[in-house]
Chain A
Amino acid sequence: MATIPLSVRGLDKRFGGIAAVQQVDLDLREGVTTALVGPNGAGKTTLFNLITGNIPPDAGQVLLDGKPIRGLPPHRIARLGVARSFQDLRLFGRMSVRDNIRAALEHDAWFWQPGGRSAKLARERAVDSALDRTGLTELAEARAADLAYAERKFLSVARILATGSRIWLLDEPASGLDPHSRARFVQLVREAVADGVTICLIEHNLDIVTELADRIAFLDRGAKLAEGEPQEILRDPELIGIYFGEGRA
């Protein structure tokens, strides 16, 4: 039986007196797309930050292919195959679209990358492929900061796509997209899943969630209240109430 690509056990984080993440357990199984939903401030992005090593947890463990990765610095975790996007994108604004993707592939902290020409060609092929799949080939030399909103969001995905990471943590990847772009995005994600990528996404747009998610985990105030099939979760009146802000204790 294959190990679970990414799993989180009893993850806990407090800021001052406030519990940002409380005893969260989560399994991201291979090929299963999980959506994290919940009201603002529920701790979803914090959970991502705990997984990627940006914030140290107070308690709990993060397991990558069964091996603990808690305490590793973010760049090491990224090199192990965990890719993430940011809600505010954080593109490399002054660089071209192509360079943004190239930069995502260059991990070695030296004056040049190892592997010589063949490695370089392989990287260029990955960049071209990512540009093609996200529809950004025409804009390859444009400055990232000059792109339109939807194009910037696709660049954010292109960076991840090119790295060939097996686990994607996407933070509101489709927010603000027009319907056409949304459809393209959904298609892109489906292709990635078909390639064996394990995806976890934070998403407020429930249409996207229903289209893409195999499972939903519902978080509120740092705690995981429920997890299950989309139909179950999205029909639960209590959860809906919490999500839309009524009837919170």
Chain B
Amino acid sequence: MTAYLVNLATLATIFGLLAASLNLLIGYAGIFSMAHAVFFGLGAYAGAQVALQLVPDVLLACLVGGLVAGVLSLCLALPALRVRGEYFVAASLGLQMMAVTVFSEAGAVTGGHGGLVGIPPASLLGLDLSNPRFFLLACVILLVLVLLAIRGLMHGSFGRGLMAIRDSESAAEAFGKDVRALKTLAVALGCALAGVAGALFAFYMAFINVESFTLEQSIVLVAMVAIGGAGTLLGPLLGVLLLLLLPAGLSFLPFIPATQIGTAQQLIYGLAMTLLMIFRPAGIVGQAGERR
């Protein structure tokens, strides 16, 4: 039982990091990306390759994963700067679909449809982290550090800059803000953190393939952020917990056959998304007209 809980906790931590990074884009920068799973995947593949080819050091893998995802986030930043709203969402959808194809075909780097297998357990500067509890601890520490950093940034000039852009882009420009640079930074940071989560994911699963990085995953992430409360620090975490615990909770209900749990889960979170947006658009944690 404890092994199961440790595993669940690790997954929750990794997805917590992932949701927090998406929250940077959606909740703070107002950049509505449906392609976040792409950067999760980029980080995972990069981290996995580091572990397989070099050394399974979790710090190094996270660094490389974050770097790769951050640099490639330009693919998302470019449309974000050119168009907004509906168009940008469409572009991000396009990016997500293209990425799935690339992930499936770029066999040399991603292992194609089969994915990458046999990823060795993590170590941290020589310390062995193959015990799941130690790995969980490392993940939790990382999550806390990242959350603190995000909080610090959002309470400071960067957060103010992003909020100013959201409230009135023309006024932000009139007061010296380089809107393009700020947006690009926000995208780069959000995607880089997704890459870090991806590297952790690769160690956790010991095997990754494209199935984890599809549009469906991006949608789940958006649901987590929206349901929990975009633009808040804790909202995405709550969303993660709810959506991860949902299938477990559903398995206790007698009238849902095991094969239908996935579908029932989808039904519930789809409904939650819609109802919340109608009655409580700020999400569960957010308050209407919230300040962070």
Contact = CB atoms under 8 A, between A and B. Distances in A.
Contacts of A196: none
Given A95-B164, A108-B157, A79 B176 contact: yes
A148 to B, nearest CB: 17
Contacts of B100: none
B160 A99 contact: yes
A210 interface: no
Contacts, number: 98
A184 interface: no
B175 interface: yes
B163 A145 contact: no
A102 B164 CA distance: 11
Interface string B162-173: 011011101111
A96 B158 contact: no
Contacts of B161: 103, 106, 109
Contact of B156 (A73, A84, A109, A112): A112
Contacts of B160: 95, 99, 102-103, 106
B138 interface: no
| Main DSSP-derived SS at the B contact region | helix
Given A99-B160, A109-B185, A94 B179 contact: no
Interface residues of A, number: 34
A91 B164 CA distance: 8
A23 interface: no
Interface string A100-118: 0011111111111100000
A221 interface: no
B170 A113 contact: no
A61 interface: no
Nearest to B169: A90
Contacts of B157: 102-103, 106, 108, 112-113
Interface in A28-54: 52, 54
B83 interface: no
Contacts of B164: 92, 95, 103
B289 interface: yes
Given A94-B167, A143-B291, A75 B179 contact: yes
Interface of B: 153, 156-158, 160-161, 163-164, 166-168, 170-179, 181-182, 185, 189, 289, 291
Given A83-B175, A91-B171, 20 more contacts: A54-B173, A73-B178, A75-B173, A78-B174, A78-B176, A86-B170, A90-B168, A91-B167, A92-B164, A93-B168, A94-B289, A95-B167, A95-B291, A103-B163, A104-B176, A107-B176, A107-B177, A111-B153, A111-B156, A113-B157
8 contacts: A78-B174, A79-B176, A90-B174, A92-B167, A92-B168, A92-B171, A95-B291, A107-B177
